[in-house]
Amino acid sequence: MTAELLHDPETEGPPRTPVDGVNVLGSLSPSRASDFMSCPLLYRFRVIDQIPEAPDPYAARGTLVHAVLERLFDLPAGRRTLEEAAALLRPQWDELVAAEPQIAELFPDPEQLTGWLDECRSLLETYFSLEDPRCLEPAERELYVEHVLDSKLLVRGYVDRLDVNGEGLIRVVDYKTGQSPSEFFEAKALFQMKFYALTLWRSRGRIPKLLQLVYLGNGEILRYEPDEADLLATERKVNALWLAIARATETGDWRPRKSALCDWCDHKSRCPEWGGTLPPLPTPEEIAARAARDKPSAGRRADPSGASPAPGGNPPAGGSVSGGGSESPGGSASSSGSASPGGAPPLGGWALPGESSPGGTPAPGGTPSPGGTPAPGGAPSPGGSSPGGGVPAVGAPDVGEASPAGG
């Protein structure tokens, strides 16, 4: 397909590198990568066809809780309490409805809305059992990150929270409103975080010291310390995924993958695996028109970073695509539950200035692991290291819609 078909719609938010089909052949976010690994046909429906998806109460819950936790840090440290956070729920809900009126249809009965908001409050209660936001001063919230790899693929996404300590060590934090995965699926959950870590490393020249997934559904924290081998493997995987997407685009072969996730898919009725009939692929003119018109569906986070559950994918030529994010040895993971004594957050041996270790004294900043040092020369090479040759241009690059917000 020609470069005219490549579209990168204008959206609210920070400036984005345009996909021009020459210097930048396409873009990919963790959500779209996960969609393709989960089901290539789902990727097609969301990215190429751009078929609207119905509002979803669980996705809306994730959107609302994320918004409250972001706004919470606008308050002075002493006011970052559960009561203040709970007081933000209704105003933030009203903002969501003002932006996407159709989301109000989820709760036609006021009592339904009240019960749903109570569920959101319970997730905030869990958050406060895991972290004390009065002891935190994030460097960034809802941070858009991007970088063009050597393969000319633009990787991008939104990071919920970025913490930086006095030594310059970086912690990447992502909130999930669902439950933590079993140990057999931790690698899949960490793929999104390694994707962010890769993008930050290549754009800033420093590997994040800690990746932290905060699961509010069951009060667990999953931590991972990446190293360079981890992120190089993630880079190879991302490039291999893009090659597979390019091949599907050129051949028109978007194979459905039947799984337990199908019961929650908006597109089940049109999927051949369930007796449906595929719609015709959109024309270049239709693709361009939708790129200029469409926004993410109501109840879904308006950013390109939310990750869908991701079982394995089709291996493209020249690279394997596994379902998890742990392609190589290296790095270390740990998980924990409730807060430390005295209300301090569980620190896992690494803390920021102002965070409290048990007993209320500030914990040391920590030292970088071998993977936490800057790339040679203090900055990454342009685009970083990627395998053999460029990535072919694809007719419909990732447009950054978000997946259902389980987190």
DSSP one-letter string for 141-202: EEEEEEEE-TTSEEEEEEEEEEEE-TT--EEEEEEESSPPPPGGGHHHHHHHHHHHHHHHHH
> pLDDT grade, residue 376 (50/70/90)?
very low
Percent of the chain with pLDDT over 70: 68
State the number of CA atoms in the 13 A half-sphere of 13 facing the CB: 19
401 or 296, greater pLDDT: 296
pLDDT band of residue 351 (cuts 50, 70, 90) is: low
Pairing of strands 220-225, 210-215: antiparallel
Rounded CA-CA distance 331/138 in Å is: 24
Q: Is 23 exposed, middle or buried (0-12, 13-18, 19+ CB in 10 A)?
A: exposed
Q: How confident is the model at residue 396 (pLDDT cuts 50, 70, 90)?
A: very low
274: pLDDT strictly greater than 90: yes
58-89 pLDDT tens trace = 999 999 999 999 999 999 999 999 999 999 99
For the cut 70, the answer to whether the pLDDT of residue 297 exceeds it is no
Give residue 9's pLDDT: 37
According to the per-residue pLDDT averaged within each range, which of 194-198, 251-255, 317-321 is highest? 194-198
pTM of the model: 0.75
Using CA atoms, how far residue 161 sits from 34, 73, 155, 164, 333, in Å, is: 21, 10, 18, 10, 19
- Would you place residue 335 in the very low, low, confident or very high pLDDT band (cuts 50, 70, 90)? low
Q: CB-hemisphere CA count at 13 Å for 168?
A: 11
Q: What pLDDT is attached to residue 137?
A: 96
Cβ contact 166:353 at 8 Å = yes
Extents of the domains making up the chain: 57-131
Contact indicator for 261, 176 with CB cutoff of 8 Å:
no
**CA gap 274, 272 in Å, rounded:** 5
How many separate helices (H) and strands (E) can be counted in the chain?
Answer: 9, 7
In this prediction, residue 331 carries a pLDDT of 64
Cβ atoms of residues 316 and 322 within 8 Å:
no
pLDDT, residue 346, reads: 38
**Pair 333, 223: CB distance under 8 Å:** yes
pLDDT given at position 136 = 96
Residue-level pLDDT at 293: 65
Give the range with max mean pLDDT: 38-52, 299-313, 329-343, 375-389.
38-52
Which positions ≥6 away from 285 have C-beta within 8 Å? none
Query: In percent, how much of the chain has pLDDT > 90?
Result: 60
**Mean of pLDDT values over 341-347:** 36
Task: Check whether 325 has a pLDDT greater than 50.
Answer: no
Distance CA 246, CA 316 (A): 10
pLDDT of residue 15: 80
Question: How far from the centroid of its chain's Cα atoms is residue 185's Cα?
Answer: 16
**Residue for token pair 């799984």:** 259
What's the pLDDT at 81?
98
Q: Quick: pLDDT tens for 102-128.
A: 999 999 999 999 999 999 999 999 999
> Torsions phi, psi of 335, nearest 5?
-140, 155
Task: State the pLDDT at residue 301.
Answer: 42
Short-list 142, 145, 162, 163, CA closest to 154: 145
Residues with Cβ < 8 Å from 147, sequence gap 6 or more?
A: 154, 155, 156, 199, 202, 203, 383, 384
Amino acid at 259: S
CA nearest 210: which of 165, 263, 155?
165
Q: Tell me, what's the pLDDT at 178?
A: 95
Inform me whether the pLDDT recorded for 292 exceeds 70.
no
Task: Tell me the C-alpha distance between 22 and 155, whole Å.
Answer: 16
Please, which residues have CB within 8 angstroms of residue 334's CB and are 6 or more apart in sequence?
222, 223, 224, 348
Which residue do the tokens 């000319």 mark? 152
Q: What is the C-alpha separation between 285 and 288, in angstroms, rounded? A: 5
| Better-scored residue on pLDDT, 394 or 268 | 268
> What are the pLDDT digits (tens) for 131-152?
999 999 999 999 999 999 999 9
Least confident of 266-270, 301-305, 313-317, 353-357: 313-317
Pairing assessment for the beta strands 170-176 and 210-215 based on DSSP bridges: parallel
pLDDT computed for residue 283 by the predictor: 84
